Structure 1
Amino acid sequence: MPEERRWTIRPEDSTWGDFGPDDQLGRLNLLTPEKVLQAVREVKTGRTFCLSLPLDYPGGTALNPRRKPPRIEPTLRGDKPNMVYPLSRDNPHLLDVICDDTVQMTLQYSTQWDSLAHMGQWFDSSGTGKPEMLFYNGFRAGEEIVGPLDYRVEGAPPTGRASGASKLGIENMAAAGVQGRGVMIDLKRHFGTKRVAVGYRELMEVMEAQQVVVESGDMVCFRTGTDEALLDMAGDPDLSLLEGRFAAFDGRDEKLRRWIVDSNVVALIADNAAVEMLPAAPSASERYPSHPLHDLCLFRLGVYLGELWHLSELADWLHANGRSRFLLTAPPLRLPGAVGSPVTPIASV
């Protein structure tokens, strides 16, 4: 018997149910074997580009006070640090010298993927006038995506359940594989490093000037130059300088949102911290999402967001060679229950 869906009414412009009532992949379903083969045919030279910043970048907590840099420490062998540890300490006949370490890190500190469990919304999916805290395809807060406190109930005690996403976790993305055609749109080459809210009109202007075509199933990358600025700041980002520069999407631009809906893109990827410009433009609604592009992509469409990617070197090479398309391989960590993941993407040209 087919599974029953968890909702009666789905959000406007959503793909809820389009890939099945229990789907956890969203538009990642569009990365079909045919799309992978199409992407492989973009490889002409065999050259590769690493699209990850060093994972200790941007540095500090200026970009997000809740996200801290990784801390690497040795594992322990008894009570001794297991780093440059000669096994001859334990057995004089042994020649080996061992290094073994552990890391404590915020999963979305640096180059990252947002999973579909990263951001949900209050939404009335039952049509009863009682909104619930929901995520993509109607998965529920407090049931499939759980925190240590149940914020649905004022003053609720700790849930006593392990935090995490039993549905929509990043491991689904990893298991499905993330390999397909990447398409580069170079906002920096068109606008420079000035602060520009990119709506549909600006996006079409850039795509026409750069002769970029985006098709169903593509993963679209947007170079703004933020990655170069972060690298130049050498782990000590100047937030005042970053906030006054660089292009980013206007998530409330209705024509831009319609383009994302109609284009059937799988992912939007940028070298900045959120893909969209924050704070967002004012909303005319009484209640509204603070991150309108996250709402559209993660909550409604199942479109993945990649943030803080290192795109500039690839963008410059593609421009110099009259190209905009490449093979993109970018699986996240297969870490069950996580709502985001660091990623070391590889572009093959």
Structure 2
Amino acid sequence: MSPAVAQDPQQLPWDPHCITFPARKDLPRLSGAPDGAAWVWGKDDQLGRLNLLTPQRVKGAAAEIQTGEMVRLDLPLDVPEKPAFDRETFQHTIKTLVPDMAYDDTYSLNTQSGTQWDGFRHFSNIPSKTFYNGAKSTDFVGDTANTHSCSIHHWANHGIAGRGILLDYRYYAITHNKPYDPYSPHAITFAGLQSCATWQGINLRPESEGGDIRVGDILLIRSGFVERYAAATRSHDDLAFAGLARDSAIRDWLHDSYFAAVAGDSPTFEMWPVPDHDYLHQDLLALWGCPIGEMWDLETLAEKCRRRGKWTFFMISAPANMPGGVGSHANATVIL
């Protein structure tokens, strides 16, 4: 039986196989949920927007593979040398099992010290202190903690694979005489993204409106952090990074495009610092169930996309299968 073409906002749970979905302004009001919550995939849903990565969409995304060339999107585990937000530095030691014959190695790490996924346990809706689909901090820590609610292992068991789309805002800005320092609170506005996309030959409207954004796409935005880090390593004591602005146009577009996940090359994805606790993180993670990737290495991918003149590709990511996990290194690869 074919799914409905358009999802009725009030018909819960929503069918991820639908072709079009409600706009942010048309989200249903959910009893006991914060305003703007899109907890629409079922009472015990743990996947959020990853539900949109249906077998049909993954199979369709495989059509993006043209050459079979692979591009890894993870930085080395010890980059950055000094992680932001006072996170622990990565530690690697080699253990001798039998001298001259056999060795192991051990890692000590914060899963969000480098290239990462922010899981649903990472950030709440601040006014309600509620995480995605109604989870509370007491589900994560303390006497009533469990390994089920909002755990990263659900993503690992489902899998993350689909069509990726790159907006190379950094290269666009430099070539259009709009230079900025990625280590500064430079706001990437929706108008800026539209100009970048137009230069790349991409229409940022959803496919249902005649644009190039498909339901379930994985959005990647290059803001220049990795390029800047490679040019001059520095500490992150001042915590200022370029990233997405937080105006209503950005929020509406991120929501209404129905990305399965979003990721960028900066440590925060959104512009940092954030005034008045107006975090995109709480919209994406807690309200909409949309994974956020940070510090992804988009340098080689951007170069190859520019050379090809093609900005979409097949990509896959394997989060850690850790019951109760908050986040994970991305373990992400693009296949061109």
TM-score, normalising length: structure 2: 0.81
Match of 1:323 in 2: 310
**Alignment identity in percent?**
31
State the shift of 1:231 in Å: 2.8
Correspondence 1:51-200 to 2 at 5 A:
51-61=73-83, 63-65=84-86, 67-74=87-94, 82-83=95-96, 85-86=98-99, 97-123=101-127, 132-142=128-138, 144-146=139-141, 159-160=142-143, 165-192=147-174, 193-195=179-181, 196-200=186-190
Does the alignment pair 1:256 with 2:250?
yes
SS at match of 1:36: helix
Q: Is the 8 A contact 1:165 1:339 kept in 2?
A: no
Match of 2:296 in 1: 309
Match of 2:192 in 1: 202
Q: RMSD across aligned C-alpha pairs, in angstroms?
A: 2.3
Q: Is the 8 A contact 2:125 2:287 kept in 1?
A: no
Aligned partner of 2:273: which letter?
P
Match of 2:331 in 1: 344
Q: Which has the larger radius of gyration?
A: 1
SS at match of 1:220: strand
CA distance in structure 2 between the aligned counterparts of 1:160 and 1:221, rounded to whole angstroms:
38
For structure 2, the 5+ residue unaligned runs are: 1-11, 14-29, 203-211
CA distance in structure 1 between the aligned counterparts of 2:262 and 2:249, rounded to whole angstroms:
16
CA distance in structure 2 between the aligned counterparts of 1:257 and 1:336, rounded to whole angstroms:
31
Q: 1:277 aligns with which of 253, 264, 271?
A: 271
Does the alignment pair 1:12 with 2:1?
no
Match of 1:77 in 2: none
CA gap 1:85/1:161 in 2 versus in 1, 3 angstroms = farther
State the shift of 1:12 in Å: 3.0
For structure 1, the 5+ residue unaligned runs are: 75-81, 87-95, 124-131, 147-158, 284-289
Match of 2:207 in 1: none
Q: Is the 8 A contact 2:239 2:272 kept in 1?
A: no
Q: Is the 8 A contact 1:58 1:237 kept in 2?
A: no
State the shift of 1:84 in Å: 6.3
SS at match of 1:83: strand
Cα offsets for 1:107-156 (capped at 9, x unmatched): 10000001111101244xxxxxxxx52111111221x222xxxxxxxxxx
Q: 1:42 aligns with which of 50, 57, 64?
A: 64
State the shift of 1:239 in Å: 3.9
Aligned partner of 1:279: which letter?
P
Q: Is the 8 A contact 1:187 1:247 kept in 2?
A: no
Match of 2:279 in 1: 292
TM-score, normalising length: structure 1: 0.78
**Number of equivalenced pairs:** 292
Match of 1:153 in 2: none
State the shift of 1:259 in Å: 0.7
Match of 2:22 in 1: none
Q: Is the 8 A contact 2:124 2:131 kept in 1?
A: yes
SS at match of 1:20: coil
Which consecutive segments of 4 or more residues in structure 1 shift more than 3 A? 159-162, 238-243
Aligned partner of 1:205: which letter?
S
Match of 1:218 in 2: 217
Q: Is the 8 A contact 2:126 2:282 kept in 1?
A: no
CA distance in structure 2 between the aligned counterparts of 1:301 and 1:248, rounded to whole angstroms:
19
CA distance in structure 1 between the aligned counterparts of 2:237 and 2:121, rounded to whole angstroms:
30
Q: Is the 8 A contact 2:156 2:318 kept in 1?
A: yes
Q: Is the 8 A contact 1:228 1:312 kept in 2?
A: yes
State the shift of 1:25 in Å: 0.4
Aligned partner of 1:313: which letter?
T
Aligned partner of 1:72: which letter?
H
Aligned partner of 2:91: which letter?
R
CA distance in structure 1 between the aligned counterparts of 2:224 and 2:147, rounded to whole angstroms:
33
Q: Is the 8 A contact 1:249 1:277 kept in 2?
A: yes
